[in-house]
Structure 1
Amino acid sequence: MYSIIVVPPPTPEDEHRPAQIRLAPGERLTFGRAPGNDLPIPHDGVSRGAGELTAQGAFWILSNLSAQATYVVENPEGAGEHIKVGPGRLDAPVPFEFSRIVLPAAGDLLTIEVWAPRHDYLREGAGPDGDTTAPAFSVDRTKRYFAVLAALCEPRLRGDPHAPLPTVDQVVDRLRPVWPAASRTSVQWNIDYLAVKLRLKPGPDTADPGPRLNGKKESLVSLALRFDLVCEDDLVVLAGPSARAAR
């Protein structure tokens, strides 16, 4: 079974180029300006032997064979998430399910898309017996604190990874359709509660107040997005009952 799917950059001149190239685990694909590559990219700004992709089951690795150019691998669904693969770097693992390799080419930015649709999971009952592991972060998506967290994360989940976070007053206004009684005091209380619940601050059962947490909202949003505590689908909690029923 194939492991990754490579979508070459569009080249109207080459009508015979396949729209997709599928690689099974262990298979490699070379790309570059030279015609002998598996994926020729006829651009003067691309090295003759620019790089190599290798399928590795549920993920893939990228080797940058250029002597000067840094390649960027973007996660189009990750709100700005990306990795950089420097010149000469071999076998850099890429963890994204959907990826876009960006090649700087003499003033142009060429892209190669790579999809990794294969997902491998541990079979139920295959793990060792014993007590279950406590979850790293336990959140209840039906609680008001989760709606507050979703409102804080919303601007960056909507596609702007560097969007300024909403003020407390803006969060109050955003929550009015689902929480008419929301106020500055109640929203701020939930933000403080989240800081303790997500272990950014010590709980009330300890005498240690911990260090002062500057940028509390920024820390909460960064943690929530990094570990997928809030995803774009979760923004439905910010919609009124009629909007949710229409989905």
Structure 2
Amino acid sequence: MRAFPPSEDPDQVITVQQDYDSDTPLDTHHLEAGQVRTFGRGGRNRRVDIRLADEDRAVSRVAGEIIARGDHWRISNLSPTKSYVVENTERLAGFLKVPPHTQGMLVPFETSRVLVPGGRGEHGFLVMAPAACSSVLVLGAGEDPFVAQDPDDTAAEHTDVRSFRIDRLHTYYRVLVAFCEPRLRDPGTRYTPTQVQVAERLGLSKAAVNSHIDYLLRNKFQVEPGEARQGQDWRVDVLTEKALHFGLVSGGDLSVLPEPQGSR
């Protein structure tokens, strides 16, 4: 197990434990400054400390690392293709996207959920940092929040299996892009269209749009009604959140939508 140089406060402890919203059993880890825990699918003599998804080949055998730095922690993403997400569980909209080949990205949240995309849905675990972790948000002069590793590094035994298995030629993908369209055009907005607006945008019935929403949530993101947040539009909220967090849609995907009325 590798160790980084200790921080100025070695008495602080980072705790990694099972996500209370996940069925994946995980041991609890208490990390002191400089200690590292690896996470991933494991297997084939590739040991990891936090084993996720034994049978999900969309998860790399060694997908990433958690690095304790005393009063805060950092995350490394060893995947060459997949982004991970770190959610702030104490704030509804707080999250970080961890791009491929990221090394040592600082996480400023006190309580976080790490989400790794799999073949269907995602796998996660919780990381608890000391209450003072928000005090380390200001980076030092010239400090880079993450450093890309050598793209030829194969130590993690990466996988080329796609996460979520989204078919971009299917109608449900156009529905997904249509719901994300306002935020793709303006990342600063929180506006999301209604089912009726998306139906009109794509020339579908509202019933068809609702059917595609249910299909995406149930079959692609593995979200059941009992797991969702409260509110009338929870389905669309969860749908757009997961698609944008994991980079399943981007500005280039807007080309799958018809031109807006009045654009000519």
Q: TM-score range by the shorter chain?
A: 0.3 to 0.5
The TM-score normalised by the length of structure 1 is 0.45
| Structure with bigger gyration radius | 1
The TM-score normalised by the length of structure 2 is 0.42
